[in-house]
A = this chain, B = another copy of it.
Amino acid sequence: MTVGFIGLGSMGRPMALRLLAAGHRLGVYARRPEAAAALVDAGATAHPTPAAVAGTCDVVITMVTGTADVEEVLLGPDGVAQGARRGLVAIDMSTVSPLGTRRVAAALAARGVQMLDAPVTGGVAGAGNGTLTIMVGGEPAVLDRMKPVLACLGNNIVHMGGAGAGQTAKACNQLALLVTAEGVAEALALARRCGLDPASVRQALLGGIAASRVLDVFGARMIDRQLPAAFPSRLYHKDLHIVFDIARGAGQALPAASVVMEHIDTLMARDLGGQDISVLIELLEEAVK
């Protein structure tokens, strides 16, 4: 299959490389041409616009930041829909609002393009080794046709429902992840304030029922703030706003997530959005009742 890939950031680049390595012909577009260089070196063809990518492909994957970006690359003047061949499938793997996703899916459908929303979890490591979890919304028949492509990227592909359902599931993922991170931060902050070694506490907790990947990965960064950052806090800020948009629409109270929202809002107000989310622990370390 000829695959198009738009959005070659920290997640998109390793995902696109996996598609090439699996033998797919790959066309790419990046707003910053230098972002496409590594892919072109590996055998991909760079195109000047998303429409040009679409003109050569059976499926176009987008991995960008927000709903506005998704709308621009799929529906904009030089967007995918402009250049789409008959039967093109658009798979948006960005994390965006399910409301926006449903709007985009409807607009694409009106122009003959079928769409899946297929956001992922598993981080840059999972993107590199093809172990992402992919949460899919859209028609099951379209998902079945796209499985050979998605299977290059993830090993846990779960159909969640119609258009937008993948994004709703991803929002639930971010909600669970961020509240867990707050719990780990509170536990490690309390440990340190009581004179315990937080690294020993993390080690102990990893052996029991409080064990989590958040404790393992983010806990290590909360203890050693010099470790390299993974995702900047501002992306979680964006995601948590999506969570609350959904929750308000559905009438669901989220009291612990509200605490995290307040903390991440504080990080943003202090211009710390570029820092790893493990910076959450610093808010607790300064708060003395």
Contacts and interface: CB of A to CB of B under 8 A. Distances in A.
A257 B183 contact: yes
A260 B251 contact: no
A182 B214 CA distance: 15
A214 B256 CA distance: 16
B187 A172 contact: yes
Given A193-B252, A252-B284, A253-B284, A201 B172 contact: yes
Interface residues of A, number: 76
Contact of A247 (B122, B132, B190): B190
A173 to B, nearest CB: 5
Given A179-B180, A214-B209, A254-B186, A204 B173 contact: yes
A172 to B, nearest CB: 4
Interface in A124-183: 126, 132-133, 135, 155-156, 158-161, 165, 168-169, 171-180, 182-183
Contacts of A207: 121-122, 133, 155-156, 158
A123 B208 CA distance: 8
B183 A196 contact: no
Nearest to A217: B209
A214 to B, nearest CB: 7
Contacts of A190: 171-172, 175, 243, 246-247, 250, 252, 254
Given A176-B215, A214-B210, A250 B194 contact: yes
Identical subunits present: 2
Given A205-B121, A252-B284, A183 B194 contact: no
B196 A169 contact: yes
B209 A213 contact: yes
Nearest to A284: B253
A200 interface: yes
Contacts of A168: 191, 194, 196
Contact of A176 (B126, B187, B243, B246): B187
A186 B156 contact: no
Nearest to A174: B210
Interface string A232-268: 0000000000010011101111111101101100000
A287 interface: yes
Contacts of A260: 256
- Nearest first, the 4 A-B pairs at minimum CB distance are A179-B183, A121-B208, A133-B207, A212-B212
Given A161-B195, A175-B187, A252-B289, 14 more contacts: A121-B210, A133-B208, A158-B207, A169-B201, A169-B204, A172-B191, A178-B183, A179-B187, A182-B183, A190-B246, A193-B250, A212-B213, A256-B256, A259-B259
